[in-house]
A and B are shown apart, each in its own frame.
Chain A
Amino acid sequence: MSVQKSLRMVPILLVLALGISMVGCGVPQAAVSLPEATQAAVPAPEATKAEVQAASEELVIAVPSENVDLSSWQAQSEINSPGLRNVFELLVERDPITNELVPELATGWEQISPTQWRFTLREGVTFHDGSPFNAESAAFGINWTWAPENNFPGLQFMGSQITAEAVDEYTLDVFTAEPDPIVPARMYFCPLPSMKALLDSPETYATNPVGTGPYKVAEFKRGQEIIYEANPEWWGLDDPEARGAITFQKLRFVFRPEDGVRAAMAQNGEADIAAFLTPEQCATVDALDGVRCESAPSSETLMMRYDTPSPVLGDQRIREAIGLAIDRDLIIEQILGGVGSPAAMIIGPGVLGWSADLAPFAYDPDKAKQLIAAAKADGVPVDSTTLTINVRQASIPRIAEIAQAVQSMLIEVGLDVNIQVQEASIFNPEFGEKPTPERNYITIHPHGNELFDYTQSLSYYTCSTTVSCVCDPELDKMIQVARTLADSDREEAFREIAQYTYDRQYIGGIAYLGLAYGISDRVTWNVPLDHRLLAKDMSLSK
């Protein structure tokens, strides 16, 4: 009898185990699409030591996911580690309004040779553990972040191998393996941890963050919230170059995976800022008193990556026809909530290399049909080939609806198209495989350019990279050269590449995506282009 009873539990547990192993319950991140930052620029606040001691306000920010861990490199990503950038600082920061590189822990920088950059560091800065910030600690932090043996996932955004060396107390040299004109932009990806903490207790690197920033971690309640408290010793308190102030004594980043709940928290005043609202939630929030919705373009673009080895998608006329067959305005209006901006490139405004000269394809199904007819007449097997729109489940909200809209638009112009919505565990490995001539995928997915430099996105166009479905040796050469150029030469090279890829439509743009926030009227904040939730940029409304 007891055996039977025990065995009776087996099917229940089997179902449980199978269910949880096979179900991918993506919690979608809300994203909305916007043309440009619309909010008025407000000067960064300033504070003095006396003021920070008086600051008693608490700021509550509702975010969709909890911190992955508290390693310094995680502070690069607001999604992976909400608020951690308040703890760690960078040599080079981005201006929240113009997105230009501006000094933070470095006061200046210059290129000494194609593979060497020199940074002058800020004096009088200390880490939260009291150790001094100087060239030695900065070099240690940079070398740690780029160390091949650490293999931090953040390296994906950080380009070629970088090493750093102290020249004197406040002068730092950074060397790159290859000529690299955008080292300062890469330093924006390197939050600097305390050398002392790393040497004393490397095992606590992921759990005990020690930086130089205006806030320290007070408590991390897993699954609930992370609480930061003001650092009264912050170097920026009396320094206008810190471009910000400590207005809030305490920051509470609360983790709320459900976007409806984040919106509700903004509506009833539980949260001062609720991250990533949908357009509908934005409209609801805007209709209320005391709270508003603000948004800014993100570094994300929704794009269509064509399998160019396909006998159909390999034909330039077909790719152009697809570009013309898609009614971007309709998709943005009906699916993305009417706040979108049609995309011509795979990078958006704000990224170096974006060209205002390239217009998104206008909706012209008649011309698309003509191009398809011309391709057919030349023997392109349009009728005998089924194209597949491939998307990842919940990669952005309503991605499946976008796929359906694109499918119906392409069928309308005479293409044979089906849809495939895949779970991440299947989609991701396939995304990194080179296409076969039989695959015929149009992969629609968001691409983020976190480096704000076209080079990061150009890996989608080179023969050797796994994410590229194109191999054009001439384009490869252009990209190779552009990577080593600086300033106006770089911009010119990017312009040429943009035009070249636009003419050939190896990848089609759909929309530049933005992110929206519900913000209490008691808080003043310009949503920055990099979407970092930096409390020093926020202040109480007068």
Chain B
Amino acid sequence: MSEYLLNRFFYSILVVVGVLVLVFFIGHVVGDPARLMLPLEAKPESIAKLRDSLGLNDPLGEQFVRFIGNALRGDFGDSYWQKTPALPLALERLPMTFLLAGIVILIAVPAAVMLGSVAALRPRSAIDRVVNLLSLGAVSVVDFWLGLMLILVFAVKLRWFATSGYGGLNYLVLPVVALTMGPLGRIAQITRSAVLDELSKPYVKMARAKGMPERRVTFTHALKNAFIPIITMSGSELISLLNGAVVIETVFAWPGVGLLLILAVQRRDLPLMEATIFLIGIMVIIVNLVVDLSYAYLNPRIRYGSKQA
């Protein structure tokens, strides 16, 4: 196991470095930050001076060596936009992103598993059709539109919640609802098909033949085995929430990592882009690792680290 973890750690570092290299080169090829920071009418000498002060006039190779050297020490330089170190700027957004993503996953996964299992227990019944319809609807709704509609109905008309911003429960409900829909629908559908799949397997027939109660057959045996695709899907949903809740974060002005990254891209703030992507990369790796390790728990046949496995 520890050998496996060491291996994973090593390859994770390679992946992070690979992403950073890519971001560095693409970031330097696409768009000139100095051009975007200055007004359109800026004189060429002002642009040249700004490029010089940002270190953008140095040969690309030299910039790259400097960048990798500093990045390995966690120093991504000062944000061009906010004139303060980039990594702390990105780090201070993490709690907000974790809060939103965590609550969404904590609501979406149990609710979706319950809905999917109930639907799978009675295939083609009215309840199955309702769950199908609801989950399809949840997957199909455009989150941007949903966000604005929630604001108009619950914040403007009913005045139950705040329109936007970061704060207590009052601020949390609408973005959570808007973000929960997609994962809820997708995980419910995966759960339904995975549980159905398991219920048709011989061991279930065996369990039923032994006279095991249906509830135990479904929830203890079938559902546990169906959990591998559910966990995989939930992991992928969590990853997209950690880095891809950009639209909802923008609509609700939720100060998370996604919104920060979009603002950094708009301003071609290379240090901030690099720091944010570095953080997102780390989060993706951790979530994937947790998902992989959970496989071994759910399916004892999976063993990590053993050459025979």
Contact = CB atoms under 8 A, between A and B. Distances in A.
Contacts of A2: 4, 7-8, 11, 304
Contacts of B47: 432
Interface stretch (B178-186, B193-201, B279-287): B279-287
Interface of A: 1-3, 5-7, 9-10, 12-14, 16-18, 20-27, 66, 68-69, 71, 151, 153, 155-157, 206-207, 221-225, 254-258, 260-261, 264-265, 267-268, 270, 424-426, 428-429, 431-432, 445, 456, 459, 465-467
Interface stretch (B110-118, B203-211, B260-268): B260-268
Interface stretch (B38-46, B56-64, B221-229): B38-46
A68 B264 CA distance: 11
Contacts, number: 181
Contacts of A9: 15, 284-285, 288
Given A21-B30, A68-B82, A13 B253 contact: no
A79 B202 CA distance: 66
Contacts of A429: 32, 35
Contact of B39 (A20, A156, A256): A156
Given A13-B18, A425-B31, A429-B32, A260 B43 contact: no
Contacts of B261: 20
Interface in B256-309: 259-263, 265-266, 268, 273, 277, 280-281, 284-285, 288, 292, 304, 309
B36 interface: yes
Contacts of A17: 19, 22-23, 26, 277
Nearest to B307: A1
**Most B-side CB within 10 Å, residue of A23, A25, A155, A225:** A25
Given A20-B265, A261-B251, 4 more contacts: A222-B82, A256-B164, A264-B151, A432-B35
A13 B281 contact: yes
A178 to B, nearest CB: 15
A23 B152 contact: no
B15 A264 contact: no
A202 to B, nearest CB: 12
11 contacts: A5-B288, A17-B26, A156-B46, A222-B82, A224-B255, A260-B151, A268-B155, A270-B163, A429-B35, A432-B44, A467-B41
Nearest to B37: A153
Contacts of B76: none
A489 B162 CA distance: 56
B26 A18 contact: yes
B216 interface: no
A27 B263 CA distance: 9
Given A2-B304, A255-B253, A69 B82 contact: yes
B156 A6 contact: no
Nearest to B262: A25
A428 B44 CA distance: 12
Contacts of A14: 19, 22
Contacts of A3: 7, 11
Contact of B84 (A16, A207, A221): A207
B148 A260 contact: yes
B77 interface: no
Interface residues of B, number: 75
Contacts of A25: 246, 262, 265-266
A24 B263 CA distance: 10
Max chain A C-beta neighbours (<10 A), residue from B12, B32, B81, B263: B263
B274 to A, nearest CB: 10
A428 B266 CA distance: 13
Contacts of A206: 83-84
Contact of A224 (B50, B155, B165): B165
Nearest to A68: B81
B83 A69 contact: yes
A16 B47 CA distance: 30
Interface in B48-90: 49-50, 53, 81-84, 89
A155 B42 CA distance: 9
A255 B250 CA distance: 10
A425 B270 CA distance: 13
B265 A23 contact: yes
Contact of A258 (B18, B44, B251, B277): B251
B171 to A, nearest CB: 10
A20 B31 CA distance: 13
Given A22-B26, A156-B41, A432-B40, A151 B49 contact: yes
A2 B281 CA distance: 18
Interface in B101-151: 148, 151
B32 A425 contact: yes
Interface string B1-31: 0001001100110110011001100110011
Contact of A459 (B31, B41, B250, B277): B41
Contacts of B4: 2
Nearest to B254: A223
Contact of A16 (B253, B266, B280, B309): B280
A57 B14 CA distance: 55
A465 to B, nearest CB: 8
Contact of B15 (A10, A27, A71, A258): A10
B166 interface: yes
Contacts of B92: 222
Contacts of A156: 38-39, 41-43, 46
Closest 5 CB pairs of A and B: A425-B31, A223-B255, A6-B11, A21-B26, A206-B83
Contacts of A261: 148, 151, 163-164, 251-253
B303 to A, nearest CB: 10
Contacts of B11: 2-3, 6-7
Given A3-B11, A26-B266, A223-B255, A153 B30 contact: no
B273 A20 contact: yes
B209 to A, nearest CB: 36
A153 B7 contact: no
B36 A425 contact: yes
Interface centre among B41, B81, B239 (most CB of A within 10 A): B41
Nearest to B292: A5
Given A10-B18, A21-B26, A261-B163, A267 B8 contact: no
Contacts of A223: 93, 166, 255, 259-260
Contacts of A151: 46, 49-50, 53
B243 interface: yes
A126 B123 CA distance: 77
Contacts of B93: 223
Contacts of A467: 40-41
A529 B262 CA distance: 31
